[in-house]
């Protein structure tokens, strides 16, 4: 182990070699803090498995079929040696300063009870937690030089309520909650489930860091997979809808203003959640 390594970067991938290479190259090129890169290869019949075997700076493991994100992340975890575990998708490109801005936040927080996320730049986003700016919708149209020249100029402020990657937490938190819940395999709604488990541990910092920026081509794997009914699984498991959790607990999309407080859920919303839960149990 390199004792200066700060982040273990976990990347699940499924026959997405061109994007994986772009993601890994961006980490190599645009990172300042020493990291280790860990890839779980789902299937890998497109040449991914052969490629990762040739990369001396990548740890990896492999499943013969696509086992999804939840299992892939949990299988990759034992290879991680750093204090902080960072999950990033293979269709993301890290911009310069992405890692130092996250580490700056970690040092300012001064304890382990947090989930932080970089801020995504996406070609056609209507999400208030992301920056909408088109630098190319795929690898062939990617305008990397333009992104590197201008990404810092795009306006954005820190925001509440992160659940999705690229996210980072301390390894002790990961181990206490058991990583990603496999009942959400292959992965839809596993992010809010992970955050609910953190919430029950007392975590009240779910912060999107505006200065840590990552370009996201978007849905290059999820569009090919058969989706699980994660909405129903979350509702049955926790008794509320995912949107109730992200809006009233995490206050997703609000300007970051410190520790989250206990949710104030309107009676009308509680009643709707009760009816929806009854419908799932019947």
Pairing of strands 206-216, 115-122: parallel
pLDDT value for 276 = 85
Residue 188 to residue 207: CA distance in whole angstroms: 21
List the one residue out of 39, 36, 31 whose CA is nearest residue 4: 36
pLDDT value for 1 = 45
pLDDT value for 279 = 77
pLDDT value for 278 = 81
List the one residue out of 204, 278, 207, 201 whose CA is nearest residue 241: 278
pLDDT value for 274 = 85
Residue 113 to residue 195: CA distance in whole angstroms: 12
* The model's pTM: 0.94
- Give every residue of the chain whose pLDDT is below 50, as ranges: 1, 282
pLDDT value for 78 = 98
pLDDT value for 223 = 64
Domains of the chain are 7-281 (3.90.550.10)
Q: Which phi and psi angles does 38 have, rounded to 5°? A: -125, 125
User: How long is the chain?
Assistant: 282
């Amino acid at each position: 182990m390199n004792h200066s390594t700060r982040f273990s970067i976990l990347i699940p991938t499924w026959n997405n070699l061109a994007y994986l290479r772009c993601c890994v190259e961006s980490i190599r090129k645009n990172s300042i803090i020493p990291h280790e890169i860990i890839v779980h290869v789902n299937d890998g019949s497109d040449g991914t498995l052969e490629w990762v075997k040739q990369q001396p700076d990548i740890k990896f493991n492999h499943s013969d079929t696509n086992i999804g994100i939840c299992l892939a992340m949990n299988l990759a975890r034992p290879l991680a040696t750093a204090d902080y575990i960072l999950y990033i998708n293979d269709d993301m490109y890290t911009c310069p300063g992405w890692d130092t801005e996250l580490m700056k936040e970690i040092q300012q927080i001064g304890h382990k009870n947090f989930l932080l996320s970089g801020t995504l730049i996406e070609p056609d986003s209507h999400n208030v937690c992301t920056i909408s700016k088109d630098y190319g919708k795929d690898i062939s149209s990617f305008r990397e030089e333009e992104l590197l020249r201008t990404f810092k100029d795009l306006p954005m402020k820190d925001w509440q309520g992160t659940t999705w990657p690229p996210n980072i937490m301390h390894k002790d938190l990961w181990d206490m909650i058991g990583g990603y819940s496999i009942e959400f395999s292959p992965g839809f709604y596993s992010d809010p489930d992970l955050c609910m488990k953190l919430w029950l541990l007392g975590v009240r910092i779910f912060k999107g860091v505006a200065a840590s920026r990552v370009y996201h081509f978007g849905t290059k794997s999820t569009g090919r997979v058969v989706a699980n009914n994660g909405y129903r699984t979350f509702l049955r498991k926790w008794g509320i809808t995912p949107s109730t959790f992200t809006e009233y607990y995490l206050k997703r999309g609000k300007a970051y203003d410190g520790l989250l407080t206990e949710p104030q859920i309107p009676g009308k919303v509680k009643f709707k959640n009760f009816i929806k839960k009854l419908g799932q149990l019947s």
